[in-house]
Structure 1
Amino acid sequence: MRNVDLKELQHILRQMPVMAEVHPLSLAFLPDEVRVFEDAWQMAAELDAPMPQPTVPMLAAQIESALQHRLPVVRCTHDPLTTELNRVLRKRYGLIQAHILRQSQVADEIVRRADSEAVALMLVDGLPYGDVKRHATQWLANTTPVLVDGVSITEHSMVRIVGKPPLAQQLFDAGFRTCLGFTYWERAQEPLTDCLFTGFGDRVRKVKSFDEVLAGLEDEELRGAFVQIVRTGLDGAAHRQREMPNVAVMVADILTDFQRLAAVFERKGVSAWLHLVSDHGMLWAHEHNLQVYEFSGADHPRHYEHAKQGEHTLTVEFEGKEFALLEYPYLRRDLRATEWGMHGGLSFEESVVPWLSCHVERQKEETT
């Protein structure tokens, strides 16, 4: 099978139908005129139909060995999960949504995988998929890109991840009867915390460090437990800070804590599915040539708390209310001196987040 880049693939498509091994999101970069078939046999049937041959480019996103004698086969090496996705994200949003796991689907996937003795979910406040890809390549095999299908802000995204009914309730019904919660946020001052920990009762602890989380778990029976942790991420470092944040170090710290969490279950001999999901990514100002779309005193630089029609906006809904997202690279206002990064808009950096998952096997007892 020959490797081709996206430009060469388009060149071949202008000449003949093709079967291609291609990343589903790369299809969003192809011209609108290209007809994409999920089934190579369906494309072959159209080519064999007793009627004039189609004049539009045709691509089968499936390799069928029985058709290789008839159709050229290529592997497209294009990687769509880069900042290049911003070129097509708003325009081809529907297609992209159809070919990537959405944030609102994560809870169902966690429940579907819950075939272990325990489940743990670490909710991270601000962690872009792109920063994991750039600074922690060793984790990519365990990482699924997730599209924030709405406003990329904590108040919306955390609720979207936990789901309705809440993940704790779904897992309780699946047999995980103990709920253990840990949060870096002040519960009395954060209504969102009460929402995220619905069903946990008094089993939610306010912690100041991940060491406190691990110490708390050491004292608990973890079989049959669902553990939910809200951990600070990159969000806090992006606002009101004098110094530019060291993103690589912060990403490494988050993933180290995830490893330490796994070690607790291993040490206690409990099999578990462990998940790490971020609420939103981060658009780092110093890495991009951002442009002010309008000059306003808006608090939010990347989204509107109402619907707004425009050539650079996308309207989404959350709990019955409409919001508008600004596409990359536009801002509603100039950034403040202490704003190193932002979120809330529509971009690869803000809207594609990581879902890390790993399975801890129950240790077999040694026989003598």
Structure 2
Amino acid sequence: MPTIDEVVAEAKLHPVEVDVPHTLSYLFLEDYVNVFHDGDVLESYLNNPSYEFNKNVVLKTQSDVGVGSQYPKLKLDHSPISPLLNNIIAEKYDRLSDHLITQRDIKSQILQRVTDETVVVLLIADGLGYDDVLGTQLEGEPCLVNGPTITPVGYQNVVYGRDNTPIIDELINRGFVQVRGYSYWDESTYNDLNSKVFENFHEVNRVRTTEEILEDLQKNPIGDDRTYIQISRQVLDRQAHDGKEIRTSDHEHEISKLNKDIGQLNEILEEQVDSHLIVVTGDHGILWRKDFEQDMQIVSTNGKSSMRYAGQQIGFDGGAKLIDAFDSTYTVFDYPYAASSFDADEAGTHGGLSYYESLVPLHFRGSRW
């Protein structure tokens, strides 16, 4: 299959029709060629002697409208869901949602899938990027984080969606009369956020491990009433910040443990109810030191920001984007810019825009999945 360079070379000679593995690839191609999505429109421009193309080449993308056999069809060899995304993520950030599910779409994705399930479980993992689960059972579909890749924004994106109504309200309206909440946050961490994320929960159980959740479900089985369970679980965020040296095996162990926990939860629900749906996603990914340090460019903000973002609008000499999220404006740094170097005991960071930080998985499991 041809690469982008080879497609561009072919398109210099004549229009070509290109099939892509993911429509994100068109955002890369348009830097080199004119991209048309409609064959009739392309033909009209080609036949118009007064029209001047703004690039040296023309590309006809695949569409339902054929342009005729005179144009060769090529299948592009390109993987945009990869670190290549770092090349366009800030510049074309506002258009990525045309090609990817975003975090604020997750609520609607769940509601679209809910039919007659007795139980729906939403597990939001603190620190779980799409790249972290790539090739595992948890891979699912990549979702774009709306805004800075930080815990308060990510959790609220998932729970409140696009209409700022918590998912619990939507499910109660559908007959989910019982609710259970489990959160790893204690009263000293994210207490205000915990109140927002678990709004309208009568009680939230503070837990340290998933085993406590599984034990509670076995001691207090789900009854006949439809039940919504929401879980906040620590995954990789602590590894990024807790000051310990992180090995690949540590990382893999955490992902394996999460997958095992989801499997056990699935088994318990299979025993207790006729049908259920488990949804797993993350609040943000992690830009690991091992992937970032050799590329990073440090630009000082005179102490006005964190390493990868600022909680306000600031001047920044590196690449950055202003993004509004939940009544605040953030200055979010593009890859590979940072306002400081890693501390000696830091294994990772997050907050900015990158393939590693800005894509989280959306994984479904249950009676029908």
1:291 maps to what in 2?
297
2:322 maps to what in 1?
315
1:365 maps to what in 2?
none
Of 1, 11, 14, the match for 1:13: 11
Is contact 1:86–1:347 with CA below 8 Å preserved after alignment?
Answer: yes
| 1:297-327 C-alpha deviation (Å, 9 max, x unpaired) | 4562100111135451100012222110111
Is contact 2:305–2:311 with CA below 8 Å preserved after alignment?
Answer: no
Once residues 52 and 126 of structure 1 are traced to their aligned partners in structure 2, the CA distance between those partners, rounded to angstroms, is 54
Pair 1:183-2:183 in alignment: yes
Deviates more, 1:9-18 or 1:349-358: 9-18
1:274 maps to what in 2?
278
1:240 maps to what in 2?
242
Instruction: Give the deviation of 1:32 after TM superposition.
Output: 3.4
Once residues 15 and 152 of structure 2 are traced to their aligned partners in structure 1, the CA distance between those partners, rounded to angstroms, is 46
Instruction: Give the deviation of 1:139 after TM superposition.
Output: 4.1
Once residues 187 and 222 of structure 1 are traced to their aligned partners in structure 2, the CA distance between those partners, rounded to angstroms, is 33
1:104 maps to what in 2?
104
Of 144, 154, 158, the match for 1:157: 154
Pair 1:228-2:234 in alignment: no
Once residues 279 and 12 of structure 1 are traced to their aligned partners in structure 2, the CA distance between those partners, rounded to angstroms, is 42
Is contact 1:21–1:62 with CA below 8 Å preserved after alignment?
Answer: yes
> What fraction of aligned residue pairs are identical, expressed as a percent?
27
Deviates more, 1:57-66 or 1:119-128: 57-66
Of 324, 331, 351, the match for 2:331: 324
Where does the alignment leave 5 or more consecutive residues of structure 1 unmatched?
A: 363-368
Is contact 2:182–2:205 with CA below 8 Å preserved after alignment?
Answer: yes
Once residues 263 and 60 of structure 1 are traced to their aligned partners in structure 2, the CA distance between those partners, rounded to angstroms, is 49
Instruction: Give the deviation of 1:112 after TM superposition.
Output: 1.4
Instruction: Give the deviation of 1:345 after TM superposition.
Output: 0.7
TM-score by length of 1: 0.88
Instruction: Give the deviation of 1:158 after TM superposition.
Output: 0.4
Instruction: Give the deviation of 1:75 after TM superposition.
Output: 1.3
Counterparts of residues 39-58 of structure 1 (less than 5 Å): 39-47=38-46, 49=47, 51-52=49-50, 55=53, 56=55, 57-58=57-58
The aligned amino acid for 2:178 is: T
Once residues 361 and 82 of structure 1 are traced to their aligned partners in structure 2, the CA distance between those partners, rounded to angstroms, is 29
Counterparts of residues 91-240 of structure 1 (less than 5 Å): 91-117=91-117, 118-133=119-134, 136-140=135-139, 143-163=140-160, 164-187=164-187, 190-202=191-203, 204-218=204-218, 219-221=221-223, 223-240=225-242
Against the structure 1 CA distance between its residues 234 and 155, is the aligned structure 2 distance closer, same or farther, given a 3 Å change threshold? same
| SS of residue matched to 1:24 | coil
Of 300, 309, 318, the match for 1:303: 309
| SS of residue matched to 2:35 | strand
1:352 maps to what in 2?
359
Is contact 2:127–2:285 with CA below 8 Å preserved after alignment?
Answer: yes
Is contact 1:222–1:270 with CA below 8 Å preserved after alignment?
Answer: no
Instruction: Give the deviation of 1:61 after TM superposition.
Output: 3.4
Aligned residues: 354
| 1:38-64 C-alpha deviation (Å, 9 max, x unpaired) | 3444434544x5545664444343254
Instruction: Give the deviation of 1:350 after TM superposition.
Output: 0.6
The aligned amino acid for 2:77 is: T
| SS of residue matched to 2:24 | helix
| 1:113-142 C-alpha deviation (Å, 9 max, x unpaired) | 111312111000001111211xx34444xx
The aligned amino acid for 1:263 is: E
The aligned amino acid for 1:318 is: A
| SS of residue matched to 1:98 | coil
Is contact 1:126–1:232 with CA below 8 Å preserved after alignment?
Answer: yes
Against the structure 1 CA distance between its residues 307 and 222, is the aligned structure 2 distance closer, same or farther, given a 3 Å change threshold? farther
Where does the alignment leave 5 or more consecutive residues of structure 2 unmatched?
A: none
| SS of residue matched to 1:4 | coil
| 1:72-97 C-alpha deviation (Å, 9 max, x unpaired) | 11111200111121111111222223
Against the structure 1 CA distance between its residues 318 and 94, is the aligned structure 2 distance closer, same or farther, given a 3 Å change threshold? closer
The aligned amino acid for 1:24 is: T
1:77 maps to what in 2?
77
TM-score by length of 2: 0.88
| 1:233-271 C-alpha deviation (Å, 9 max, x unpaired) | 100111132322521111121122222222222222431
Against the structure 1 CA distance between its residues 28 and 66, is the aligned structure 2 distance closer, same or farther, given a 3 Å change threshold? closer
Instruction: Give the deviation of 1:35 after TM superposition.
Output: 3.0
The aligned amino acid for 1:30 is: L
The aligned amino acid for 1:17 is: P
Against the structure 1 CA distance between its residues 66 and 99, is the aligned structure 2 distance closer, same or farther, given a 3 Å change threshold? closer
RMSD: 2.3
1:37 maps to what in 2?
36
Is contact 1:294–1:332 with CA below 8 Å preserved after alignment?
Answer: yes
Is contact 1:20–1:63 with CA below 8 Å preserved after alignment?
Answer: no
